[in-house]
Structure 1
């Protein structure tokens, strides 16, 4: 019964970790972390700009809004990116790697538990490590979200290259919809790590050595 409870806990943790990792990867690729409203600039700058962690896309507020006018990807050699985006990029990358590693450890733990029946201490160490990695990944994603949030509320500017045709500061800006996906990813990562804190293996008292009594 204890092995079944442990397996169910591991499977639930694996499912939460996998969903959190998928949402992390998707949020990294989407551009709408910040929505810039560019209303006072002439064409082609006029419209919307979705500022992401790895690219920026411009849109025109009309019926074809779902199709970007242009998208520009960032590279590591870009010097115009502010510190908050650079920090968020690295945090999201590390979080995705930690989530992937944690998922691999859970799978390895399940395989060892069912196939090879290793010692309990070995499997618990893998499970504990995957739990810690998930918590760290969730914390990193949360910090990236906070960096983006403070940049939006402080209305920070970004000096994009001139050929982007995007002003360095919009008329107004707000949080993009991708942030909520990143928040969900962080919650799932944290939940996958905290889910097993209350899980404890039943304590089995050590067997007492048998004492032989001899009759003189």
Structure 2
């Protein structure tokens, strides 16, 4: 049995994976994973504090300084970071790496399809592994988001160094705008992975790209006479 596969499915999956990877990188760089309100704090940082995965920023709306926003970046040697942030850092880094590897495998598979260098086992495995990596990456991001949400709901504090001039616990806190970006990244990666692994062939199948005008991601099969 020969299968004719329209490669637009994998092109769409590659685009979704790329967008998910970009949003994942953006969410890691943003500081607003948690927003702290320090209205009753006696520290100089009285106002707002945005706690991210790699930095914390304070904002004093009534400050007379030229830069009312001050940011402090974390390092791996910082021992004051709680366990949830440390784990989330590694989860997001792993998700970005896995998503990038998935993109590389998808490109290799598409290159084989368009160049006509089709080996049923190798090409199918490239797409399948890419899809699995994307699903794992999206799951890791969701875990980081859920853990961050759990910390906010429980109103957990962080003992920042005295030089940061940030209270260890805010008056109250809420989810920041970085979280929706991370959720979107996870959703795109999961969708990309599910679309990619839909390209599967049985051991007795041969792959041929079909050139057509439509963009439907369908697989047409034709039985070979024996």
Q: Provide the TM-score with structure 1 as the length reference.
A: 0.88
**Aligned-pair Cα RMSD in Å:** 2.0
| Runs of 5+ unmatched residues, structure 2 | 201-218
Q: Do residues 101 (structure 1) and 101 (structure 2) align? A: yes
More helix by share: 1
Equivalent residue for 1:211? none
Q: Contact conserved, 2:128 with 2:197, CA < 8 A, in 1?
A: no
Query: By how many angstroms is 1:114 displaced?
Result: 1.6
Residues 99 and 117 of structure 1: is their aligned pair in 2 closer, same or farther, counting only changes over 3 Å? Answer: same
Equivalent residue for 1:19? 19
Larger Rg: 1 or 2? 1
Query: By how many angstroms is 1:41 displaced?
Result: 1.3
Equivalent residue for 2:194? 194
Distance (whole Å) between structure 2 residues aligned to residue 11 and residue 84 of structure 1: 36
Which of 121-130 and 35-44 deviates more? 35-44
Which of 110-119 and 55-64 deviates more? 55-64
Distance (whole Å) between structure 2 residues aligned to residue 160 and residue 197 of structure 1: 44
Equivalent residue for 2:4? 2
Count of paired positions: 204
| Runs of 5+ unmatched residues, structure 1 | 209-216
Deviations along 1:24-55, whole A, 9 cap, x unmatched? 00000000000000001135120100000000
Query: By how many angstroms is 1:123 displaced?
Result: 0.8
Q: Contact conserved, 1:57 with 1:68, CA < 8 A, in 2?
A: no
Which contiguous aligned blocks of 4+ residues in structure 1 show a shift greater than 4 angstroms?
197-207
Distance (whole Å) between structure 2 residues aligned to residue 206 and residue 160 of structure 1: 69
Q: Provide the TM-score with structure 2 as the length reference.
A: 0.84
Deviations along 1:93-150, whole A, 9 cap, x unmatched? 0000000000010011111112252212211110000000000000000000001000
Equivalent residue for 1:35? 35
Equivalent residue for 1:120? 120
Equivalent residue for 1:161? 161
Residues 8 and 147 of structure 1: is their aligned pair in 2 closer, same or farther, counting only changes over 3 Å? Answer: same
Distance (whole Å) between structure 2 residues aligned to residue 189 and residue 52 of structure 1: 22
